[in-house]
Amino acid sequence: MLEVKNVDLHYGAAQALRDVSVVVEPGKVTCVLGRNGVGKTSLMRAIIGHQPISGGEILWEGRDITRMPPFERARRGIAYVPQGREIFPLLTVKENLETGFAPLKRADRTIPDDIFSLFPVLKDMLGRRGGDLSGGQQQQLAIGRALVTRPRLIVLDEPTEGIQPSIIKDIGRAIDYLRSKGDIGILLVEQYLDFAEALGDRFYVMERGRVVVEGLKGEVDRDALHRSMAI
Ligand SMILES: Nc1ncnc2c1ncn2[C@@H]1O[C@H](COP(=O)(O)OP(=O)(O)OP(=O)(O)O)[C@@H](O)[C@H]1O
């Protein structure tokens, strides 16, 4: 379980997160929603260790990781699928997937078959350069690369952004599959509310660096979700 407790985050004098608390349980999809610039990516970067926090703490599997560097968090099972995907354009699909080996012990450095069951296109394109893939294929590759690390927490930052509907469905199915395994926590940042509502077990809505609405599926005030996402 991931517990983000009362986290503040500053960029110089500007405060991007204010007293943010979030819980992510294994076998559940936790969604963080909100408009552009409310602090969603800052929160994800704090969780994976790319941005230091100025207050509060972050616990993972009962251990304080607040000051742990990103590679240590990756070794402890935290994987990130960044907004914009950040695949390596000049490496092949296979080489991109193999970059996920970095936090693994030598004996574990294989590409799990279920990645190709979820995203068959990756198998067909193993020898192609990442930069030659479509945006949707790159998104599948970015998720595949995260799964290579055998995560127990996967953080997905707007995986549907700029992606065509058929691939959005594949990504939704992949998230469903990961949840069904029961031992992986899924933290999903989204602006596409229908996608998040269809998948989410727990919701947090952010506004100006704060969590303003939270609740479990079935209990959360859906009108408030829709209102706080409306432009
Ligand atoms: N590296 C940075 N330096 C200074 N300010 C930053 C930096 N990154 C983000 N910010 C600011 O922090 C605030 C939160 O940004 P953040 O990217 O976390 O929001 P977001 O909700 O993820 O938005 P988006 O949906 O556009 O990605 C914004 O006001 C943004 O301008």
pLDDT by residue (tens digit) across 68-127?
Answer: 999 999 999 999 999 888 999 999 999 999 999 999 999 999 999 999 999 999 999 999
Domains and CATH numbers, the chain: 2-229 (3.40.50.300)
Amino acid at 122: L
Residues of the chain with pLDDT under 50: none
92 DSSP 8-state letter: B
In this prediction, residue 138 carries a pLDDT of 95
In this prediction, residue 231 carries a pLDDT of 63
Assembly ipTM: 0.93
Pocket lining: 38 vs ligand 1, CB cutoff 6 Å: yes
**Residues 62 and 93: beta-carbon distance below 8 Å:** no
At 49, give phi and psi (nearest 5°). 95, 15
In this prediction, residue 98 carries a pLDDT of 96
In this prediction, residue 230 carries a pLDDT of 73
CA of 165 to the centre of ligand 1 (A): 27
Pocket lining: 11 vs ligand 1, CB cutoff 6 Å: yes
Pocket lining: 41 vs ligand 1, CB cutoff 6 Å: yes
Instruction: For residue 180, give both structure tokens.
Output: 């069904």
Pocket lining: 177 vs ligand 1, CB cutoff 6 Å: no
Place of tokens 């996402």: 229
Q: How far is CA 148 from CA 3, 13, 44, 133, 211, in A?
A: 24, 38, 20, 19, 32
pTM of the model: 0.94
In this prediction, residue 84 carries a pLDDT of 80
In this prediction, residue 38 carries a pLDDT of 95
CB atoms under 10 Å from CB of 4, counted, come to 24
CB atoms under 10 Å from CB of 180, counted, come to 9
Q: Which atom of ligand 1 is nearest to the CA of 39?
A: 18
At 124, give phi and psi (nearest 5°). -65, -25
Pocket lining: 36 vs ligand 1, CB cutoff 6 Å: yes
At 222, give phi and psi (nearest 5°). -65, -35
Instruction: For residue 25, give both structure tokens.
Output: 């349980």
pLDDT by residue (tens digit) across 79-89?
Answer: 999 988 899 99
Select from 215, 74, 193, 65 the least CA-distant residue to 145. 74
